[in-house]
Amino acid sequence: MSYMKTLLAGTAAIAIAGSAMAQDAETRVIGVSIPAATHGWAGGMNFHAQQAVERLEEVYPQLDFVLSTAPDAGTQVNDIEDMVATRNISALVVLPFESDPLTPPVQAVADSGVWVTVVDRGLSVPGIEDLYVAGDNTGFGRVSGEYMASKMPDGGNIVVLRGIPTTIDNERVAGFEEAIAGSGIEVIDMQHGNWNRDDSFNVMQDFLSKHPQIDAVWASDDDMAVGVLAAIEATDRTDVQFVLGGAGMKEMVQRVMNGDTMIPADVTYPPSMIATAIEMTAVGLTSTAPVSGTFTIGSVLITPENAEQFYYPDSPF
Amino acid sequence: MTTQTVTTRTPPPRRLPSMSVLGPILALVILVIVGALMNSSFLSAGNINNVLSRSAFIGIIAVGMTFVITAGGLDLSVGSMAAFIAGLMILVMNAALPSLGVGVPIILLGMAVALVAGILAGLLNGFFITTLGIEAFIVTLGSMGIYRSLVTWLADGGTLSLDFDLRTFYRPVYFDGILGIAWPIIVFAAVVIVGEILMSRTRFGRHCAATGSNAHVAHYSAVNVDRTRLATYAMLGLLVGVATIMYVPRLGSASASTGVLWELEAIAAVIIGGTVLKGGFGRVWGTVIGVLILGLIDNILNLTDLVSPYLNGAIQGVIIVLAVILQREAKAKG
């Protein structure tokens, strides 16, 4: 059904483009290609992309947007080829599904003179894109680790739930391990919860059976934190002091805001970085302000003091 | 009549019970011993309760799958169907909350929605397969995609969550039970007992086997092949509904990642248990062993540090294939 929405959005965009083109020959088109909303974070990213497109279409009458969402890398390549062939785009904002399969087609787009903005996941070959809006996975792990270390000055035993085995996950864990090195915190177990609530529930249940003393949990993701919390609630264990998730899901941000002791903080990996990329691309096309280069979105620690500014009640994530 | 048709086609597996029966049981026993040796908390009541409770979803679905496969069918849509029904149930319960309030009626409403939606979804699959004569693999591959997309759409790409008070009220359905045995285990056991009786003691069970063994012969033997098949899909849909009723109170949420690959786990459990993938012979108790084997592998891998977590999938694959080989070799020797 998400296809249908995309289709509708696409048709609407074409209709708008048609009428706009009649008025103004100088209309330029920005293509936005992102993965479909198959999990919480991607859902949030889709939401912010749509919001940004709606806002910018009003602000810049001379710009048109084509937004397409792809369920896999192959479809994303097709989407991008279609955009170039039929919409004559002046700029492409792409969040690659996977780096390797997307590199050659995006390179071809860049070679044809189209402005290319890459978001979050980089391409395999450096220097293709004009603007790179990057998420900082190592930084995400580091901020999480530093918070753990400050929260547990005397050290302690923690368990870690990892995501789907990918470079993203490896960078996060590496950043985390580096930050807790020498703090007295010991990672007594690590398993993949695959960024999935059910998987992390099972893993946490088994961790609780296996280890008599767990002081804290780095769930490394808010969806996984939900599963972890449910597993802890089902037992009468009181040894787990807190759970640190990540990404900034609105339910978790709300718990931080309310001063929940089990969820004392969260670390952002904002899905709204897609909006940053679209906005900057629009600025680049319509003004003389230079926007090329790399723009890294830092991961920020959400605490009860600043939680309000990270709370988006309308977002699905 | 039906027995005769089975006998004339191939020597029925029933002729060699001892060894083919031993295969899956042996695999399960070995797994339990390995688990107990590796970690002392493996056999603790808490751990056993955990493993059985979380295996119950796949288990309940796999019992239904046993009938579908025995009757010569297949259903790839059950995982997506469970996610969709869970999403629907949550939406309906949240919507009814202002009028019904937190209490037993709203839970019953949710359960009714799940069961009715399950039966309808199953009937729909069955209708396309039997009346329109489309290959089961294709029909259910299609509905798998449809239900998965529908739940993503309902959730707007995010997660559907049950109202917090409602979830607190509903929660005991997963976590509580009688005499320390959790409800999902009790429901799973009841489904298995009914399923086993249905499969081995009733005309419906014999019709399923006859249909799966040779549909033409079954037809000439006065078995209503289409109705039998339709009934197996409807029953599977109903059981998916039952599984969802047990699933929703656990985390109180449904999203696009709910129930991913449940269909393959259910099919694997059925085959490990000794049911023949191309149909004609099924046993419900074997499916239970298959479900337990799959559940225990995950549990043991989490409880031990011997294997890199990257290799979890490989270990599972090896044990699944071994369990089936054990069975086939035993059969050949027997």
- pLDDT tens, residue by residue, A223-266: 899 999 999 998 888 999 999 999 888 889 999 999 999 999 99
CA distances from A86 to A80, A117, A281 (A): 10, 20, 20
- How many structural domains does chain B have? 1
Q: How does the average pLDDT of chain B come out, rounded?
A: 88
B156: left (phi over 0), alpha (psi -120 to 50) or beta: left
Give the model confidence (pLDDT) of A63-106 as tens digits.
999 898 888 888 899 999 888 888 889 999 999 887 888 888 89
Is B134's Cβ below 8 Å from some Cβ in A? no
Structural domain for B58, as ranges: 17-33+44-333
Give me the pLDDT at residue B126, please.
Answer: 95
Is A235's Cβ below 8 Å from some Cβ in B? yes
Does B10 map to a domain?
no
Q: Do B310 and A165 touch (CB under 8 A)?
A: yes
Does B7 map to a domain?
no
Q: Do B303 and A210 touch (CB under 8 A)?
A: yes
Residue of A nearest to B309 (CA): A191
The angle, 0 to 180 degrees and rounded to 10, between the axes of the packed helices B136-154 and B78-100 is 40
Yes or no: say if B82 and A198 are a contact pair by the CB < 8 Å rule.
Answer: no
Of A165, A230, A317, the CB nearest to B250: A230
Is B303's Cβ below 8 Å from some Cβ in A? yes
Yes or no: say if A139 and A195 are a contact pair by the CB < 8 Å rule.
Answer: no
Q: How far apart are CA A199 and CA A231, in angstroms?
A: 11
pLDDT value at B272 more than 80? yes
pLDDT value at B231 more than 90? yes
pLDDT value at B6 more than 60? no
Q: Do A209 and B50 touch (CB under 8 A)?
A: yes
Torsion sign, CA atoms A231, B187, B77, B314:
positive
* Best residue in B88, B257, B301, B308 for a mutation probing chain A (most A CBs within 10 Å): B257
ipTM of the complex: 0.77
Domains of chain A plus CATH, in order, are: 2-129 (3.40.50.2300), 137-267 (3.40.50.2300)
Give me the pLDDT at residue A1, please.
Answer: 44
Does B176 map to a domain?
yes
Does B11 map to a domain?
no
Yes or no: say if A220 and A161 are a contact pair by the CB < 8 Å rule.
Answer: yes
pLDDT value at B284 more than 60? yes
Q: What is the CATH number of the domain that holds B213?
A: 1.10.3470
Q: What tokens were used for A144? A: 């999480």
Query: Which residues of chain B neighbour A44 with C-beta distances below 8 Å?
Result: 157-158
Averaged over B240-259, what is the pLDDT? 91
Q: What tokens were used for B97? A: 């909350």
Is A251's Cβ below 8 Å from some Cβ in B? yes
Averaged over A13-23, what is the pLDDT? 47
Of A1, A189, A209, the CB nearest to B41: A209
Does B53 map to a domain?
yes
Give the model confidence (pLDDT) of A179-224 as tens digits.
999 899 999 999 999 888 999 999 999 999 999 999 999 999 998 9
* Nearest C-alpha neighbor of A228 from the set A257, A204, A262: A204
The residues in A 140-169 lying below 8 A from B, measured between CB atoms, are 162, 165
Q: Do A165 and B155 touch (CB under 8 A)?
A: no
Averaged over A101-122, what is the pLDDT? 89
Q: Do A39 and B253 touch (CB under 8 A)?
A: no
Does B322 map to a domain?
yes
Give the model confidence (pLDDT) of A131-152 as tens digits.
999 888 999 999 999 999 999 9
Does B108 map to a domain?
yes
The residues in A 70-109 lying below 8 A from B, measured between CB atoms, are none
Does B257 map to a domain?
yes
Q: How far apart are CA B62 and CA B272, in angstroms?
A: 11
Interstrand relation of B177-178 and B181-182 (parallel, antiparallel or unpaired): antiparallel
Q: How far apart are CA A308 and CA B13, in angstroms?
A: 66
